[in-house]
Structure 1
Amino acid sequence: MAPDSLRLAGAQFTATGDPTENLRTIADLTARAAERGARLVVHPEAAMASFAGRLDTIAEPLDGPFADGVRALALEHDVTLVVGMFTPADAITTQDGKDRSRVHNTLLVTGPGTAETIYRKIHLYDAFGTTESDTVAPGDEVVTVDVDGWRVGLSTCYDVRFGEHFTELGRRGAELVVLPASWGDGPGKASQWDLLTRARAHDAQAWLLAVGQAWTKYAVSGPLGIGRSVLADPTGEVRARLGGGEDVLVAEIDRATVERTRATVPVL
C-alpha cells in the first residue's frame, strides 16, 4: 500500500562551472537532507554546472562520471535524487551563422527502488533577450516517475510559464510536481516566480516543490539564481519557503490534501 505521506527536501545552492566541485556540494546537501529523514531530495536546474560556461563542452552522457556520482550518492544515503545536468544533443546553425553542438537540459531521477528516469526540458528560455535554443535542444515528452508510492511530475524552470504542462501532469496522476530552476534575478522576477509557482501547483492540483539556485547578483550572463525555493500545496498555498542563500528545505507532504482538493474543486 502506498504511504500517505512523503518527506522531501529541496537543496538550494549556487553551482560553479566545475561538475566535480558541484558534486561535492550535492553530496553535502544530500547528506543533510537524509539526516533529517528526507526520502526524495531535489537539487536545482544546472546543478552539474552553471550556465556561465559553454554547455556543449561541459555536457556528459548519462553513463559519465557526474551521473555515476549522483547514483552513488543516492545509494549511499538511500534516497531518490533529482539533479539538473546537461547531456549531449544535436548540432545546429545559430542565428549568427555559427555551427554549434547543443545539449539537453536534463533532470536525472535515480535512487534505490525508483526506476531511473530522465526529463528533458521542453520549454526553452527564448525570452528576456536570451536564446536558450541556440545551445539547448528541447525535449518533447511529459514525464512522471513513481517515488515511494507517489506519482511525481517533472518540470524545469521556464516550464513554469506554461500552465498546460502542469495540468497535463495532474491529469497523468502526479500528486507532486518538482521544478528545479536556475531563475535569474532582475526587475519583477521575484514576484513572477512567487506567482507562477503558486499558480502551477493549482493547475496540477498537486504539491509543488520548486528548487532554485541560490541568489546571485543580476547579470546578463553567468550563474543565475534568485533563491526563494518553495513548497506549495495543491491549492497554491505556500507551506514553506527559503531565503536567498544556500539552504535545505525539508517538509512532509500528505496525499489526503491532494485528494481533498481534487474532490472539492474538480478542475482536472
Structure 2
Amino acid sequence: MRVALGQVASTSDPEQTLGLVAEAVASATEQRADLLVLPEATMARFGSRLAAVAQPLDGPWASEVRRLACRAGLAVVVGMFTPGSDGLVRNTLLATGPGLDTHYDKIHLFDAFGLRESDTVEPGRRLVTVDVAGVRVGLATCYDLRFPALFTALAEAGAQLVVVPASWGDGPGKAEQWDLLVRARALDSTSFLLACDQAEPRAAGLEPVDGAAGGIGRSTVVSPLGEVRERLGAAPGLLLADLDPEEVTAVRERLPVLRHARQAREAGLPER
C-alpha cells in the first residue's frame, strides 16, 4: 500500500483550498498512491469564521473533493467543517474515493493551552474505520492523539493503520509532544500511524492567525513499533511511504498487547 501525506497550509478561503486539494490529488496520483491524507481544517484554517465556511457533506466543497478523488481513482481523507447544532460546527474528516464515502467527526475537542475549541465545535460520538486497498484504516484528528484508548479501540475494531490529520498549535514543547505522541499511539495500537499536519504558516509564506492553532508541519509516518519511517519539515510538501500490512500482523504476534488487554478485560482484571 502506497500512502501520501499532503502537508499544506490552508487559508480562510474554501475555494482557494480546493486548489490545494486538487494539487495534492494530482501529485499523489502521479506517484501512484492508494491513499492521500490531508490535514485537519484543510477546508479553512482555524481563525476563520467556521460557522460561515461550514458546508454539509453534500455541499459544493465536499462534492468537488469527491469528484477529484473518484476521477483519480484515489482514496482521500481531508479535514473540513460541517454544520452542527445550535450554531456550532463539526470538525469533520471526509473519507472519499471509489467505493468510499463516509466521515468522522472529531471526538476530543481542544480545550487546552488557553484555547477552547468547544466554543465553536460540537464533538463527534462514534469511531470510524474504512477499507482502502484491502487495509482497514482508522480515523482520528489532532487532539485525539492525547487519548490512547481511542487508538486501541480503533485497532480492536480491525484498524491496521490510523490516519491523524492535524492542525497542531505551536508553542513551547509542542513539537516535542507531537513527536512523542505520534510514536506512542502507533506503539499503543501496534498500527501504522500517518500524522498529517498543517504546514507552519510562515514556512508557507502566510502570516499565522493570533490565538489559532496553525500547524507546525512535521507530518510523520510511524511503524507499528513506534519507529519514525518518514518525516517532513515545516514547509508544505508531499510525503510518500510504502507500507506492508503484513508487518502489522507480525508485530502483533511478537507484541500482543491488544490480545493481552482483551484477556485482562475478560478476566475482570484492570488493564492498567
TM-score interval (norm. to shorter): over 0.9
Residue of structure 1 equivalent to 2:96: 110
Of 44, 55, 59, 1:60 maps to 55
Q: Kindly indicate whether residue 247 of structure 2 is the aligned counterpart of residue 257 of structure 1.
A: yes
Q: Residue deviations 1:102-127, cap 9 Å, x none?
A: 0000000000132x110000000000
- 1:201–1:207 contact (8 Å) kept in structure 2: yes
Whose helix fraction is larger, Structure 1's or Structure 2's? Answer: 2
For residue 88 of structure 2, give the secondary structure of its aligned residue in structure 1.
strand
Q: Distance in 2 between matches of 1:90 and 1:111?
A: 28
Q: CA deviation at 1:220?
A: 3.9
C-alpha displacement at 1:234, in angstroms? 0.3
For residues 32 and 65 of structure 1, the distance between their equivalents in structure 2, rounded to whole angstroms, comes to 22
Q: SS state of the match for residue 87, structure 1?
A: strand
Higher strand share: 1
> Mean alpha-carbon deviation: is it higher for 120-129 or for 210-219?
210-219
| Contact 1:44–1:83 (Cα < 8 Å) also in 2 | yes
Could you tell me how far apart the structure 1 residues matched to 2:212 and 2:226 are? 31
- Quote the offset at 1:222 in angstroms: 4.1
Residue type of the alignment partner of 2:36: V
- Contact 2:168/2:213 (8 A) holds in 1: no
Q: Which residue of 1 aligns with 2:15?
A: 20
Superposed CA RMSD:
1.1
Task: Indicate which of 123, 128, 133 corresponds to 2:113.
Answer: 128
Query: What is the aligned partner in structure 1 of residue 31 from structure 2?
Result: 36
Provide the secondary structure at the position in 2 that maps to 1:125: coil
Structure 1 unaligned spans of 5+: 1-5, 92-100
* Equivalent residue in structure 2 for 1:83, among 65, 75, 78: 78
- Provide the C-alpha distance between the structure 1 equivalents of 2:39 and 2:78, rounded to a whole number of angstroms: 6
TM-score calculated relative to the size of structure 2 = 0.91
Q: Kindly state the Cα deviation for residue 204 of structure 1 after the two structures are TM-superposed.
A: 1.3
Q: Which amino acid aligns with 1:164?
A: A
Identical columns (%) = 54
| TM-score, normalised with respect to structure 1 | 0.92
Report what 1:175 is aligned to: 160
Stretches of structure 2 that go unaligned for 5 or more consecutive residues are 203-207, 259-272
CA–CA distance in structure 1, aligned partners of residues 72 and 201 of structure 2:
29
* Cα distance between partner residues in 1 of 2:248 and 2:43: 32
Whether contact under 8 Å (2:115, 2:211) holds in the other structure is no
2:59 matches 1:73: no
Q: Residue in 2 aligned with 1:98? A: none
Q: CA deviation at 1:147?
A: 1.0
Q: Which of residues 120, 131, 143 in structure 2 aligns to 1:146? A: 131
Relative distance call for 1:219 and 1:128 in structure 2 (3 A) is farther
Secondary structure of the residue that 1:239 maps to in structure 2? strand
Which amino acid in 1 is paired with 2:165?
A: P
Check whether the contact 1:216–1:223 (CA below 8 A) recurs between aligned residues: no
Does the residue aligned with 1:226 lie in a helix, a strand or coil? coil
Paired positions, count: 253
Matched to 2:81, the amino acid is: F
